[in-house]
């Protein structure tokens, strides 16, 4: 057999080794792969015939392939058998997108990419197969899942309450609403096209309509994006999109309207709209119901993007047996025949997503609330609820990317745990401190409100509600980051509270809050983490202007209590991170 314009032979050995279908276009490749991965006596006995068959067919391939080579140009790129060295044999699977990497090039790509991923702390959110996860207090998802999952009757719940105060856990669990699920990056290049990874990391956008969190505005350079993409490709033995001879996989021919409609009927009939949105098509499930559908729907993609994101053949494999590509995925097996899977694929690749064409409204600063606002209310409803996660104190175990740096950012030395830290401001690119509560020269809006307003503009690209899909605007690259990073923008009420507090002169705390110490193994230890970090009034307790730390230190301050306890080592204090 010979197909012009394609590699001449595709050998498919219709047997499974630990659930794996083996396919290759190279003579002897099936035999070598099966011999390597069949380790038990039972497997070797069961598939002894497969080895002989593969060898005989491989010889035939060599003969016929030689004849075909006289009729066609040798392909610049062949898709061949590959395996993952880190996943179990049951996960190994030959995909249309897989290629062989030169061993030395693979090693170098993995080493360079691993260094970038660690430098940008991607393992603080994502599972990445051969990178250690960040410790729980530093891992957004692990920390939230742990705290949210504790029951009042559990030992750990009671221990935390006993050490840090009654009601703390109830507060934590009430406030945890984000970063309970994030996509895994383990073997992601098995599931998505590597050229799409390249474009997505260059200009991220919202993929999961039911998930309020989004990919953060990262600080990756073009060289670092290249390193990460090649790392992910090498780990999955997938094509390197930076290779000179790389070509995107071709799409199948566009079908007629009847076939697209038949694919849509099958898509709806199999219950896919229970988790997945497809643009703004009305497929029987409202956006509100989709948002309430639970963890599977949160991780589910807007499937209008599969055309640019997924190899057409891998899309078929995914629909027919998702566990073979990503063991443990929440995607269920649909029991599809290949013919039906192809119809659904054609619908996904070619249907009109009915995008919203109305212009995205220009963000406007919401009005201040018409009442007095105390510091305590502002902290409880705005800064203390979200912002402190990235803007913690210098002496905490994790000072946060917005303070001393993280996620690849240098940080702007802005802390928000206490009133004193907040009025101490931030540091600009020239190294000068400035107040975030007062408009900078030539501007009319304080920087803190300006960054929050910018987040609303960013949401046109990376936080669209279900049923509000539209073409994404250009990716902002001017350096001004919207806040909070990767999370929904502040509500009108939160804007109104913060704006009113600023316009009322930034009044300070009226009382001391937090904990001065805890008992840790019988030793009094000053609290230097979480919402329990001490906060209180200052001698000058009103004003939005820039003010440095008080000296001598206030009697309520962490430093004062640490010195009184004879411990000046912040690292000795336990972690109690505030959700």
pLDDT given at position 46 = 32
pLDDT given at position 507 = 98
Determine whether 467 is exposed, middle or buried from the number of CB atoms within 10 Å of its CB (0-12, 13-18, 19+): middle
Q: Domain ends where: 445, 477, 503?
A: 503
Q: What is the mean pLDDT of residues 218-229?
A: 95
491 domain-assigned:
yes
Between vectors from CA 280 to CA 278 and to CA 283, what angle results, nearest 5°? 65
553 domain-assigned:
no
pLDDT in tens, 86-99: 333 233 445 676 88
Is residue 446 predicted with pLDDT exceeding 70? Answer: yes
Return mean pLDDT, the chain: 81
Whether 332 and 423 share a structural domain: no
Under the banding of pLDDT at 50, 70 and 90, the label for residue 263 is very high
Of 495 and 359, the structure prediction assigns the larger pLDDT to 495
Q: List, as one string, the DSSP characters of 424-478.
A: T-EE-TTS-EE-SSSPPTT-SS-HHHHHHHHHHHHHHHH---TT---PPPPPP-S
Q: How far is CA 485 from CA 151, 279, 562, in A?
A: 30, 25, 32
Query: Backbone phi, then psi, for 512, in 5-degree steps?
Result: -85, 135
Structure tokens at 45: 């006995």
355 domain-assigned:
no
Whether 210 and 164 share a structural domain: yes
Q: At what angle do helices 338-350 and 312-320 cross, to 10 degrees?
A: 130
The secondary structure of residue 570, as a DSSP letter, is G
Of 552 and 531, the structure prediction assigns the larger pLDDT to 552
Between vectors from CA 226 to CA 113 and to CA 110, what angle results, nearest 5°? 25
Whether 185 and 261 share a structural domain: no
Q: List, as one string, the DSSP characters of 7-22.
A: -S--EEEEEESSS-EE
Whether 470 and 433 share a structural domain: yes
**What residues does 513 pair with on adjacent strands?**
535
pLDDT given at position 567 = 59
Whether 108 and 228 share a structural domain: yes
Q: What is the pTM of this model?
A: 0.79
Tokens 């540091």 belong to 427
361 domain-assigned:
no
Question: 323: closest CA among 95, 19, 85?
Answer: 19
Whether 107 and 66 share a structural domain: no
Q: What is the mean pLDDT of residues 98-118?
A: 95
Determine whether 285 is exposed, middle or buried from the number of CB atoms within 10 Å of its CB (0-12, 13-18, 19+): buried
User: Percent of the chain at pLDDT above 90?
Assistant: 54
Report the Cα–Cα distance between both ends of the chain, in Å, rounded: 62
Tokens 């050229």 belong to 195
Tokens 């590959």 belong to 82
Q: Is 202 helix (H, G, I), strand (E, B) or coil?
A: helix
Is residue 13 predicted with pLDDT exceeding 60? Answer: no
pLDDT in tens, 267-299: 999 999 999 999 999 998 777 787 777 778 888
346 domain-assigned:
yes
pLDDT in tens, 453-501: 999 999 988 888 888 899 988 887 776 889 998 899 999 999 999 999 9
pLDDT given at position 95 = 64
How many residues does the structure list for the chain?
A: 579
Question: 380: closest CA among 181, 512, 531?
Answer: 531
Q: List, as one string, the DSSP characters of 58-124.
A: HHHHHHHHHHHHTTSPPPS--------SSS-GGG----TTB-PPPHHHHHHHHHHHHHHHHHTTGGG
Q: List, as one string, the DSSP characters of 114-167.
A: HHHHHHTTGGGTS--TTSPPPPGGG-HHHHHHHHHH--TTSHHHHHHHHHH-TT
453 domain-assigned:
yes
CA-based R_g, the chain, Å: 28
Whether 57 and 125 share a structural domain: no
CA 73 from chain center: how many Å?
A: 42
Question: 277: closest CA among 342, 332, 207?
Answer: 207
501, 373 Cβ separation under 8 angstroms: yes
Q: What is the mean pLDDT of residues 97-108?
A: 92
468 domain-assigned:
yes
Whether 69 and 107 share a structural domain: no
The answer to whether the peptide bond before residue 231 is cis (omega within 30 degrees of 0) is: no
Whether 180 and 216 share a structural domain: yes
CA 412 from chain center: how many Å?
A: 23
324, 19 Cβ separation under 8 angstroms: yes
Whether 442 and 474 share a structural domain: yes
Q: What is the mean pLDDT of residues 523-546?
A: 88
Question: 458: closest CA among 495, 484, 433, 438?
Answer: 484
Q: What is the mean pLDDT of residues 158-169?
A: 89
Whether 274 and 191 share a structural domain: no
| CATH number reported for the structural domain that contains residue 334 in this entry | 1.10.760
236, 189 Cβ separation under 8 angstroms: yes
Q: List, as one string, the DSSP characters of 304-324.
A: GGHHHHS-HHHHHHHHH-HHH
Whether 300 and 391 share a structural domain: no
pLDDT in tens, 366-408: 999 999 999 999 999 999 988 988 998 888 878 889 999 989 9
pLDDT given at position 240 = 96
Domain that holds residue 282: 257-350
Q: How many domains does the chain divide into?
A: 4
**Long-range contact list for 312-318, CB < 8 A, 24+ apart?**
312/249, 312/250, 312/251, 312/252, 312/345, 312/349, 313/95, 313/96, 313/97, 313/249, 314/95, 314/96, 314/97, 314/190, 314/191, 315/345, 315/348, 315/349, 316/341, 316/342, 316/345, 317/93, 317/95, 318/191
The secondary structure of residue 190, as a DSSP letter, is G
246 domain-assigned:
no
């Amino acid at each position: 057999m010979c197909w012009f314009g394609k590699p001449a032979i595709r050998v498919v050995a219709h047997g499974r080794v630990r659930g794996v279908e083996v396919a290759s276009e190279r003579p002897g490749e099936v035999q070598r792969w099966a011999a390597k991965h069949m380790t038990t006596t039972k497997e070797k006995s069961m598939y002894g015939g497969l080895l002989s068959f593969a060898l005989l067919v491989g010889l035939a391939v060599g003969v016929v392939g030689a004849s075909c080579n006289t009729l066609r140009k040798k392909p610049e790129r062949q898709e061949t058998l590959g395996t993952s060295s880190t996943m179990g044999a049951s996960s190994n699977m030959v995909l249309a997108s897989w290629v062989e990497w030169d061993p030395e090039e693979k090693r170098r790509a993995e080493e360079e990419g691993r260094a970038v991923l660690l430098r940008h702390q991607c393992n603080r959110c994502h599972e990445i197969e051969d990178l250690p996860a960040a410790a729980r207090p530093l891992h957004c998802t692990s920390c939230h899942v742990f705290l949210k999952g504790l029951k009042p009757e559990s030992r750990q719940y009671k221990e935390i309450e006993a050490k840090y105060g009654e009601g703390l856990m109830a507060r934590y669990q009430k406030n945890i609403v984000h970063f309970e699920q994030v996509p895994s990056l383990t073997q992601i290049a098995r599931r998505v096209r590597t050229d799409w990874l390249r474009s997505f990391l260059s200009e991220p956008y919202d993929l999961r309509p039911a998930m309020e969190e989004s990919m953060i505005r990262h600080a990756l350079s073009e060289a670092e994006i290249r390193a990460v993409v090649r790392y992910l490709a090498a780990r999955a033995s997938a094509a390197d999109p930076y290779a000179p001879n790389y070509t995107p996989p071709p799409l199948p021919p566009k079908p007629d309207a009847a076939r697209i409609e038949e694919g849509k009927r099958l898509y709806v009939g199999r219950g896919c709209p229970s988790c997945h949105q497809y643009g703004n098509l009305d497929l029987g499930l409202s956006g509100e119901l989709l948002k309430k559908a639970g963890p599977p729907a949160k991780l589910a993609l807007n499937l209008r993007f599969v055309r640019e994101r997924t190899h057409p053949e891998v899309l078929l494999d995914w629909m027919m047996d998702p566990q073979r590509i990503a063991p443990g995925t929440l995607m269920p097996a649909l029991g599809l025949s290949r013919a039906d899977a192809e119809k659904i694929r054609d619908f996904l690749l070619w249907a009109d997503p009915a995008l919203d064409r109305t212009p995205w409204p220009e963000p406007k600063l919401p009005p201040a609330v018409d009442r007095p606002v105390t510091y305590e209310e502002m902290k409880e409803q705005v800064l203390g609820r979200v912002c402190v996660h990235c803007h913690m104190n210098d002496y905490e175990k994790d000072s946060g990317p917005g303070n001393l740096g993280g996620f690849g950012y240098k940080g702007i030395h802005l802390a928000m745990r206490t009133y004193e830290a907040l009025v101490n401001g931030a540091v600009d690119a020239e190294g000068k401190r400035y107040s975030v509560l007062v408009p900078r020269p030539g501007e009319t809006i304080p920087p803190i409100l300006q960054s929050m307003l910018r987040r609303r503009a960013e949401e046109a690209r990376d936080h669209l509600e279900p049923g509000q899909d539209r073409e994404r605007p250009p990716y902002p690259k001017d350096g001004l980051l919207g806040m909070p990073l990767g999370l929904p923008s502040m509500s009108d009420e939160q804007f109104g509270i913060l704006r009113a507090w600023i316009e009322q002169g930034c009044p300070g705390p009226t009382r001391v809050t937090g904990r001065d110490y805890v008992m840790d193994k019988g030793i009094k230890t000053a609290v230097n983490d979480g919402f329990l970090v001490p906060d209180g009034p200052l001698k000058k307790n009103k004003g939005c202007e820039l003010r440095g730390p008080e000296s001598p230190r206030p009697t309520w301050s962490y430093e004062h209590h640490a010195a009184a306890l004879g411990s000046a080592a912040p690292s000795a204090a336990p972690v109690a991170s505030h959700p």
